[in-house]
Amino acid sequence: MFLVPLEEKEFRERCSQCAAVSWGLTDEGKYYCTSCHNVTEISKEVISTAAIPNTKINAINRGLKKKRKFEKGWDWYVCEGFQYILYHQAEALKTLGVGPELKDEVLHNFWKRYLQKSKQAYCKNPVHTTRRKAKVLEDNLCHSDWASELELLSEADGPLESGTEVQSDFEIPTHFPITKAAQSASVCSGSLDGVEYSERKEKGIVKMTVPRTLAFCYLSLLWQRETITLSDLLRFVEEGHIPYINAFQLFPEEMKLYGRDKGIFAIESWPNYEEIYKSMIEIATFLDLPRFPEVTEGCYLHPNILCMKYLLEVNLPDEMHGLTCQVVKMTGIGEVDFLTFDPIAKMKKTVKYDVQALAVIVVVLKLLFLLDDNLEWSYSDLAEAYNEEHKKDKPWFDFRKWYQIMKKTFDEKKQKWEEARAKYVWKSERPLYHSHIDKPVVYKRREMVVNLQKQFSMLVDPTPVVEKKGPSSFQFNWTEEGTDRTCFHGHSLQGVFIKKGHSLITKNSLYWLSTQKFCKSYCKHVTTYEESNFSLSYQFILNIFSFLLRIKTSVLHEEVSLIEKKLFKKKYSEAKKNSSGSKKVRR
């Protein structure tokens, strides 16, 4: 062990409050002034994790600390915590280029509506009966409407609710009276209603969770018809552009979190597409939102535009866009009514715009190349031969070459992605503990980990850390110069068409359906995806496309099947009649 004489390391500055130079150490290793008890932000660098007995350092008696206001922190409610997170997420979206109305109007209104519907504010008889003057968010949120929120929270509709009389109106567990709750709350959670909140199970009320904050964000984005899809949003979260994991770190220091708050605000997983998608519908229904602004042909979320975007992203010829548009038209998935989200409608369903667009591309690839592990390769031979002979012309699209490049690029990308995930720092600088007894242990652990991390980071070469990429809706840039990756955007589809009369028709006239029979039971999934039942080309395409959106392959498969269902409506109804449908459908 290497002990440095304390004299050398000691903190020698004057106290900012009383100008004395007389420092002691608190339990957390921070300096405090022994004459005026002012605690600094400067903490002593602990060389050894073992307790160093030293008469020069006087630890503050814990009993004394408890009484201090600083330690106790502000009184705050759980919903304020979520409001904080939403606020910061909206700020982050704004920096990503989303219009300011999203934060100031849309999300704000949704949130107000939520507080009202869940009877937390803007209503008679809000759940919070403990009155107090809250000024938690004022300092930070004074530039927007958000600041008034809290006043509303605490002062809403004064006359009706005055203390304990209205309590009985609410489903607060009877064995857990509010007065007791308030008392024990100081033991079991930092927020006033943390314990109560985590135990509340009211029917018909959608409880706020951290993942649901993202559902709120997405609803607002959808309302504004912004150019961010759900998969983009979740990817930005994973890349750290939008606060989510450890978002509670953004709370002011005076908002203490512990005990039950941990279960409410601590998150150990990245958001999941399906889950957020479901919550979004759930919340929209709960909030009783009207029909959303229409998604028309000019909107980013329209399949024609998204298909164009994803064709660029997956390095396929621009010429394919005409075909995707045809499929969109034939299936009717470009219709305004289909695309616009209407929570009030009977079928409370919205479109997974991003998944759907990629599914359309899969269908077009199947139409062109069949993807039966055979035809696509023989077409590739033709294209290769043609390109060999006509080096100066616009090259034909060569599926094999495309496969090779995509495989290599995606494998590399996936590898890097996995490495980055493995290195992800989950633990917050503000550790969460169960109770005051637990606190010193947890803080000591944290300190230990930080020290160890310091030690190991010294062993890592100070070579420039991979420059952090700015947020972008594109993950690949195929036109970038200086790479050996071919860009297929300008390649031609001539090779897979033949002339018939005045028009071109595809050489391939066969098709196979991704799903023959849809599941009609109440299990809620329409089809299943058993990888080994499908051709390798199909598997490959589903794999890379779903990686692009960070979704499960089965989700994309389902979407492909749904589009086929619309495209081959007749075939399906025929198959129903004489249940012996052949696998291959002739168009």
Partner 1 sequence: MGLDFSEELRKPVTEDEQMETSMLSAKGMHFPWLQKQLETVVTGGKKKKDFAQTTRTCLSFIQDALLKHQWQQAAEYMHSYLQTLEDWDSYKKQAAPEIIWKLGSEILFYHPKSNMETFNTFADRMKNIGVLNYLKISLQHALYLLHHGMLEEANRTLSQAETWRYGEKSSSQEILINLVQAYKGLLEYYAWSKKKMELSKIDEDDYAFTTKSRNMLSQSWKTSVNFCALIKTPGVWDLFVKSYVEMLEFYGDQDGAREVLTNYAYDEKFPSNPNAHIYLYNFLKREKAPRAKLISVLKILYDIVPSHTLMLEFHMLLRKSEKEEHHKLGLAVLFGVLDFAGCTKNITAWTYLAKYLKQILMVNHLSWVQEEWKSRKNWWPTFHFSHFWAKSDWKEDSDLACEKALVAGLLLGKGYRYFRYISKQDHEILRKKIKRMKKSVKKYSITNPVV
Start-to-end C-alpha separation, the chain:
80
CB of 410 to partner 1, least distance (A): 18
In the bound state with partner 1, the residue whose beta carbon lies nearer, of 454 and 587, is 454
CB of 461 to partner 1, least distance (A): 6
CB of 418 to partner 1, least distance (A): 6
Decide if 216 contacts 110 (C-beta within 8 A): yes
Copy the structure tokens of residue 521.
């039971």
In the bound state with partner 1, the residue whose beta carbon lies nearer, of 347 and 458, is 458
CB of 419 to partner 1, least distance (A): 7
Per CB under 8 A, residues contacting partner 1 are 1-2, 48-50, 266, 268-270, 418-419, 421-427, 431, 442, 445-446, 448-449, 451-453, 455-461
In the bound state with partner 1, the residue whose beta carbon lies nearer, of 1 and 347, is 1
Pairing of strands 30-33, 23-25: antiparallel
CB of 457 to partner 1, least distance (A): 6
CB of 466 to partner 1, least distance (A): 12
Decide if 93 contacts 242 (C-beta within 8 A): yes
CB of 51 to partner 1, least distance (A): 9
CB of 48 to partner 1, least distance (A): 6
In the bound state with partner 1, the residue whose beta carbon lies nearer, of 269 and 326, is 269
Give the burial string for 363-380 (b: 16+ CB within 10 Å, else e).
bbbbbbbbbbeebbeebb
In the bound state with partner 1, the residue whose beta carbon lies nearer, of 134 and 237, is 237
In the bound state with partner 1, the residue whose beta carbon lies nearer, of 347 and 460, is 460
- Type of residue found at 66: K
Cα–Cα nearest to 62, from 71, 54, 53: 71
CA angle (353 as vertex; 350, 359 as ends), nearest 5: 120
Cα–Cα nearest to 149, from 216, 79, 204, 218: 79
CA angle (406 as vertex; 400, 407 as ends), nearest 5: 90
Cα–Cα nearest to 544, from 420, 362, 397: 362
In the bound state with partner 1, the residue whose beta carbon lies nearer, of 248 and 568, is 248
Task: Give one DSSP letter per residue of 322-337, joined into a string.
Answer: HHHHHHHHHHTTT-HH
- Type of residue found at 21: V
In the bound state with partner 1, the residue whose beta carbon lies nearer, of 222 and 264, is 264
